[in-house]
Structure 1
Amino acid sequence: MGGFTAPLVCGRIPVERMVLVAAMPPTPGEAPGEWWENTGHGAAPAERERLDGGPPDEDALFYHDVPPEPAAEALSRERAQSGGPFGRPWPLVRRPETPASFPLCRDDRFPPAAWLRGLVRERLGTEPEERDGGHVPLLSRPPELAERVMRLSGG
């Protein structure tokens, strides 16, 4: 949901750059619940199944490259997402002027990186910066993620 939230923040406080990690970039007026159909995400699971040899469970989607202990702790803290935000249109009429960077994780399975590349180009107007790693680099590669975010943000 950070792809829907970060641009709102950029419109309210001075920000030099927005760095979106494993995000769902929206278009103006799009509700998060519409994102899946509007982006053609329905074809993405087929690509993921082709790569993985079958439909993976959610643990395999999100935590396949996270060490066992942090993955278990993350799973123990998961809570169901409220359905409320999914029905509300994104309130911005245009994307913020803030430049955006998108560190794309090549091994992401949700959504698959091969599919996400084009969406980032189309919706953010930027070329994703690719690195190894899955959907949760905060847990699988924290030092590398911190270095990337700092570099992309100009820090």
Structure 2
Amino acid sequence: MATFALIHGGGGSARDWRLVVPELRRRGHDAVAVDLPIDDESAGLGDCADTVVKAVGDRSGVVVVGHSWGGFVAPLVCERVRAELLVLVTAMIPAPGERPADWWDNTGWRSPGDGDEVDVFLHDVPPDLAADLMAHTRRHSGTADGEPWPLRRWPDVPTRFLLCRDDRFFTPAFMREVVRRRLGITPDEIPGGHCPMLARPAELAERLVGYLGQLG
């Protein structure tokens, strides 16, 4: 049995994973989702990682999963727990010493334009779930965004990247290139937009569990 440590993105919460957690448990695994202290002006990247590490506790067989902004936190967790696998889901991939605030220019990301948040992030999410997510969006302080990513190299943990083919925020062509340059791997792909945990929870859970079978 694996334990999946589920890390939300910017403005998100543990609530974002509420449909994936039971799907993972139905497949015989445990899952832990936490609220990162993103709305705490005193909390940095290390504090975010500490929150996940505390929730994981002494569990072994940990699969760390980072979504979107959570890509800056997930590798830090892998350095502090007994992680067997790191999975990034349409996530930011940090470089050593890079601030999250600088990632956008450093990677050449382009804004999706004038679409509203639902159109950009949640276009394939059922309307009731999209409305619930918008109602529970949390303020994201600038503290962690202004802090350099502290690792000198990528953690020595098998890493997979799951790209969303219909993502309007981190578009497929952009992310394929970022993954190639920063991780040196080819991403796997899933249909759907930026929030597959709400739009395709069963399919996402199946992908996450499937990665376990690829470990040697």
C-alpha distance in 1, partners of 2:83/2:122?
A: 31
Deviations 1:37-91 (A, max 9, x none): 11111xx33xx45xxxxx3112211100000111110110002211111110000
C-alpha distance in 1, partners of 2:138/2:87?
A: 25
Match of 2:100 among 23, 32, 55: 32
Deviations 1:102-154 (A, max 9, x none): 11000011111121111011111211001211000000000000000111233
C-alpha distance in 2, partners of 1:121/1:23?
A: 13
Aligned to 1:135: 194
Aligned to 1:89: 148
Larger RCO, structure (CA 8 Å, separation 6 or more) = 1
Q: Which amino acid aligns with 1:39?
A: T
Q: How is 1:4-153 mapped onto 2 (pairs within 5 angstroms)? A: 4-41=72-109, 44-45=110-111, 48=112, 55-153=114-212
Q: Secondary structure at the match of 2:163?
A: strand
Runs (4+) of structure 1 moved beyond 4 Å?
A: none
Q: Secondary structure at the match of 1:33?
A: helix
C-alpha distance in 2, partners of 1:152/1:123?
A: 20
Q: Which has the higher strand share?
A: 2
Q: Secondary structure at the match of 1:16?
A: strand
Q: TM-score, normalised by structure 2?
A: 0.65
Number of paired residues? 146
Q: Secondary structure at the match of 2:119?
A: helix
Q: Which amino acid aligns with 1:141?
A: R
Unaligned 5+ segments in structure 2 are 1-68
Q: Secondary structure at the match of 2:77?
A: helix
Unaligned 5+ segments in structure 1 are 50-54
The CA RMSD measured in Å over matched residues stands at 1.3
Deviation at 1:14, TM superposition (A): 1.5
Q: Which has the higher helix share?
A: 1
C-alpha distance in 1, partners of 2:115/2:191?
A: 19
The percent identity for this pair of structures is: 52
C-alpha distance in 1, partners of 2:175/2:96?
A: 19
Q: TM-score, normalised by structure 1?
A: 0.89
Asked whether 1:3 is paired with 2:37, we answer no
Deviation at 1:12, TM superposition (A): 1.0
Deviation at 1:36, TM superposition (A): 0.5
